[in-house]
Amino acid sequence: MAQPMSQSQEFILGEFSCRMDPRYRLSLPDGFFNALTKKSTRCMLAKERPGCISLWSMEAWQTTVNDRVELIKQMMRLGDLSKEIDRVQLLGRLLSTRDTPVEFRSGKRLVVPQAFREFLGVKPGGDVMVVGAAVSVELWNPTAWSGYLERQMPKFRRLCKHLSTPK
């Protein structure tokens, strides 16, 4: 069972374009930086989909991912996943390469590690779209972002209605 979002969870919204410098560094605007680094300048960087990586505060990451992984481990110990070993192995492979801790340096700059910048597909000097994704900050290849918006924007009203309807 997924853990509920913290009631004090700040909703991170907004969109802006920035440039990746020759050393593969990005600077975030104050609002995004402050939302991610309330407790620590260490964050978790995660691969989301080709052309998109996300930044999470360590606290939010631990709540969403680590808790779910612990539940899966418990289910494995109980034998509940004995018939799903292929899926468990797939999960293990993806978890092995999905995320890495990163730390913001002076000037709110973040160095994007090699495997993550390859997944993002942005060269030094290239533009990056920085997008507030409610509970995290996403870094998008601009072409991937445009395509994603084209596919998802028609679903906006239905999604908003679904999420705002009391359960």
Any domain includes 9: no
Any domain includes 2: no
Any domain includes 115: yes
Q: Tell me, what CATH number does 143's domain have?
A: 3.40.1550.20
Any domain includes 32: yes
Angle between helices 67-77 and 85-98 (to 10 degrees): 150
What tens-digit pLDDT sequence spans the chain (167 residues)?
333 444 446 789 999 999 999 999 999 999 999 999 999 999 999 999 999 999 999 999 988 888 888 888 888 888 888 788 888 888 888 888 899 999 998 878 999 999 999 999 999 999 999 999 999 999 999 999 999 999 988 887 888 788 888 87
- pTM value is 0.83
Q: Is 128 helix (H, G, I), strand (E, B) or coil?
A: strand
Any domain includes 57: yes
Supply the DSSP string of 42-67, one letter for each residue: EEEEEEEETTEEEEEEHHHHIIIIIH
Any domain includes 5: no
Return the structure tokens found at 121: 């597909």
Any domain includes 4: no
Give the model's pLDDT for residue 9.
Answer: 60
Domain that holds residue 160: 15-164
Give the model's pLDDT for residue 123.
Answer: 94
Any domain includes 1: no
Burial class (CB in 10 A: 0-12, 13-18, 19+), 111: middle
The total number of structural domains in the chain stands at: 1
